[in-house]
Amino acid sequence: MSRVRPRLASRLMVAQAVVVGIGALTLVVTAALVAPGLFHEHLTHVGVNAPDVQVHAEEAFASSFAISVAVATVVSLMAAGLVSWFLVRRVSQPVEELAVAAQGVAAGDYAVNVPDAAFSRELHELSDSFTYMAQRLSQMEGTRTRLLADLAHELRTPLATLEAYIDGMEDHVLEGDAANYRTMRMQVDRLRRLAVDLREVAAAEEHALGLVIEPMDARDAAAAAVAAADPRFHAKGVELVISPSPEPCWILGDSVRLQQVLSNLLDNALRHTPAGGRVRVEVTCSGGDVEITVTDTGEGIPADQLSSIFERFHRVDPSRVTTDGGGSASGRGRVSYLV
């Protein structure tokens, strides 16, 4: 059985009472030892030497001194007690509320009510830090839940395709030829791309995606992305062209991540542009704004789907499998992106 520990307020009040009590006792003892001797010395100094007068004066002083010290001690103890109680409540109450909030967070309730402890700067900063921590934990938990749901949804199609092909080969309905193996490899590649997408989405939503911000020419990033994608476009028979601005387009950004964004757009355009089609990357800059536009001659995006293209893993027709096994990209067709 766990030992019941006293509350913080009780401990602080006891500590304050001990301090005040020791102070009052020290005052009384010191006054009792020093005051009578000083009073007697002053009587002798002013020429009051009659024994009866000295005894009467010292008794009167002792009586009045005792009453004064007693009243002052009682009043000071009461005042000190009230002030201590007020301070203890102002300090212990927000700490107790934070403890209750911490128990709620530990139980999985991230929407806890953390009061603003404005009594002191330290308690205020502690309250703000705890609130921020609860919000970050809530965001991370939401990200984890959404990613698990996305993962379950996105894994369904490639796994079902692989299972169907394996069953067909086991039942000798499908031949183990190059075409069937190529389709299965596409599904495996799709799963690999999905794993990479999920890892990067999780890092981005949790603000853990590493960025190296530095001055860069957007034309260089676009040219690098086009050069990397050109062999895939050539193999499919899709023309890939770039139209850079005649002037430098300087921005502050991460060149690697920008190339990654453009690579995803180009892969998406390639999947949905038939052979003989064309994909164009255009870089323009005007008035301090830089715009990189990726357009293609593919099937395009239906008007009723335009509002959903930036949703994670959204596809216009989830039941349709593209020629290379699909993917997790969001948009299709003609979309402009402002950097």
pLDDT in tens, 284-311: 998 888 999 999 988 777 777 777 676 6
Assign 3-state DSSP to the chain and report helix, strand, coil percentages, each to 5.
65, 10, 25
**Confidence at residue 243, expressed as pLDDT on a 0 to 100 scale:** 93
Mean pLDDT of the chain: 76
> What pTM was estimated for this model as a whole?
0.45
Q: Residue 212 pLDDT > 90, yes or no?
A: no
Among 151-160, 213-222, 321-330, which stretch is predicted with the lowest mean pLDDT? 321-330
> Radius of gyration over alpha carbons of the chain, in Å?
40
**Confidence at residue 49, expressed as pLDDT on a 0 to 100 scale:** 65
pLDDT band at 334 (very low <50, low <70, confident <90, very high): very low
The token pair that represents 185 in the structure block: 């490899």
Q: Residue 169 pLDDT > 80, yes or no?
A: yes
**Confidence at residue 26, expressed as pLDDT on a 0 to 100 scale:** 78
The CA distance from 319 to 208, in Å, is: 33
**Confidence at residue 7, expressed as pLDDT on a 0 to 100 scale:** 63
**Confidence at residue 311, expressed as pLDDT on a 0 to 100 scale:** 63
Contacts with 123 (C-beta within 8 Å, 6 or more apart), sequence order: 91, 94, 95, 117
The token pair that represents 268 in the structure block: 């998406």
**Confidence at residue 208, expressed as pLDDT on a 0 to 100 scale:** 65
Q: What is the pLDDT of residues 98-154, one digit of tens each?
A: 777 778 777 777 777 776 666 667 777 777 888 888 888 887 777 777 777 777 777
Cβ–Cβ contacts within 10 Å for residue 199, how many? 12
**Closest CA relative to residue 61, chosen from 36, 89, 24:** 36
The token pair that represents 74 in the structure block: 């009682």
Q: Residue 172 pLDDT > 80, yes or no?
A: yes
Q: Which residue has the higher pLDDT, 223 or 156?
A: 223
Query: What are the CA-CA distances from residue 199 to residues 89, 112, 192 (Å)?
Result: 47, 29, 11
**Confidence at residue 6, expressed as pLDDT on a 0 to 100 scale:** 61
**Confidence at residue 336, expressed as pLDDT on a 0 to 100 scale:** 37
Q: Residue 319 pLDDT > 50, yes or no?
A: no
- In 198-328, beta strands by DSSP E: 214-217, 239-243, 250-253, 278-286, 289-296
The token pair that represents 175 in the structure block: 């031949």
**Confidence at residue 207, expressed as pLDDT on a 0 to 100 scale:** 66
The CA distance from 167 to 82, in Å, is: 82
Sketch out the chain's domains with CATH numbers.
8-109 (no CATH), 138-205 (1.10.287), 214-338 (3.30.565.10)
The CA distance from 305 to 297, in Å, is: 18
**Confidence at residue 205, expressed as pLDDT on a 0 to 100 scale:** 64
> b/e map of 86-109 (b: 16 or more CB within 10 Å)?
eebeebbbbeebbeebeeebeeee
What share of the chain has pLDDT > 90, as a percent? 14
The CA distance from 39 to 337, in Å, is: 94
